[in-house]
Amino acid sequence: MSTTKRRALILISSARQLPLAKPAEVTSISTGFFLVEMAQVLKEFENDYEFTFATPDGNAPQLDINGMALSVQAIKKTGAKAIPMRMEQRRRSYEVGAFRARHPELVDRREQEVRLLERHIGRIPVSELLPNSEPELTEYRPELIRRLEKLPEGTFHSLTDLVERHRDAADPFTFADFDFIHAPGGHAPMVDFHENPWLGETLHLARENDVTISLICHAPIGVTSTAQRVDAQGRPYRVSDNPFRAAPISTVPTIGELFALRFLYPRIPGKATRLTYFVDKAIKDAGFPLATSVNIAAPLLAYEPSVRLLTGNGPQAVDQQTAELRSILTSTRGAQRTSDKQLTK
């Protein structure tokens, strides 16, 4: 039996500052990617896959400390847990040790995610605390930084490098070696996944080489990049007939973002807080249909087999999305084996 592992590409935003439209006196806030939206994929596939890590520019990504809040670890119950757990931390009797002791399963899940980060990612920076970050994170952030500082730095390929290597006949690298690409969210993808020609070229090459693409939370903004590709001279050009437009997209809805801007960590206390755009609106304006649900807190997945694109609406969907990704890959490989047998007859 062959022990050679299959391969997957983990694509992470390297953005560290998120621009704001309001308030005028705060032009941006510290941001990064959500580990929770990547860790389950690493856990599910680490035994039989080798991971390659990339960011749009090849710089190390930044971990968003707000994605490490215990309420986020509740996954499909995150929407129901977020406000009650924030209120719990505002009580006069709040004490961090007792708070963690009341939520052992969430503490355990977070610890498992950090261990996955330690095994696969290495030392990366952690975003700054924001005025409306959960109080428990004030204690947790220094603990986390101390752990990460002990790790060696990992390697992150740029999309330009990967595309150019794929095109180089003398280089053995090819996108066809990957079974899937997965990209976690957090707000960071709003910065460098939006209308990025090199990301567009990457996604089209993945499609052309039968690679399954999985995007979650804010990462589906990357589909706006498929309107462009990059030619052999490195010049962007518009795609006249974009096959990705057949895909319904599940992502963070405007109403969910407005809720976060009113009550959760992006909010600037005492100020009306607004982002420069809403992800779902930008995706719709780019010509994509949206997958929607009345219950914005419930997991919502969308899959389009013609381009092998799987999307999910946030951390509440990560476990289901990972399971669906496994199912798609299993089904795809089964179909490929059947096809191969027919060709050899």
Question: What does the pLDDT profile of the chain (345 residues) look like in tens digits?
Answer: 445 899 999 999 999 999 999 999 999 999 999 999 999 999 999 999 999 999 999 999 999 999 999 999 999 999 999 999 999 999 999 999 999 999 999 999 999 999 999 999 999 999 999 999 999 999 999 999 999 999 999 999 999 999 999 999 999 999 999 999 999 999 999 999 999 999 999 999 999 999 999 999 999 999 999 999 999 999 999 999 999 999 999 999 999 999 999 999 999 999 999 999 999 999 999 999 999 998 989 999 999 999 999 999 999 999 999 999 999 999 987 666 555 545 444
Contacts by 271-276, CB closer than 8 A, 24 or more apart: 271/22, 271/23, 271/26, 272/22, 272/23, 273/20, 273/22, 273/23, 274/20, 274/21, 274/22, 275/18, 275/19, 275/20, 275/21, 275/187, 275/190, 276/19, 276/20, 276/21, 276/190
In a domain, 201, yes or no: yes
In a domain, 84, yes or no: no
pTM: 0.96
Tell me the Cα Rg of the chain: 20
**How far is C-alpha 286 from the geometric centre of its chain's CA atoms?**
20
In a domain, 224, yes or no: yes
Domain region containing 200: 6-61+155-344
In a domain, 82, yes or no: no
In a domain, 116, yes or no: no
In a domain, 31, yes or no: yes
Domain count, the chain: 1
Residue partners of 151: CB distance under 8 A and separation at least 6: 118, 122, 123
In a domain, 69, yes or no: no
pLDDT at residue 215, rounded to an integer: 99
pLDDT at residue 2, rounded to an integer: 47
Number of residues assigned to the chain: 345
In a domain, 165, yes or no: yes
Q: How far apart are CA 27 and CA 46, in angstroms?
A: 39
- CATH number, domain with residue 265: 3.40.50.880
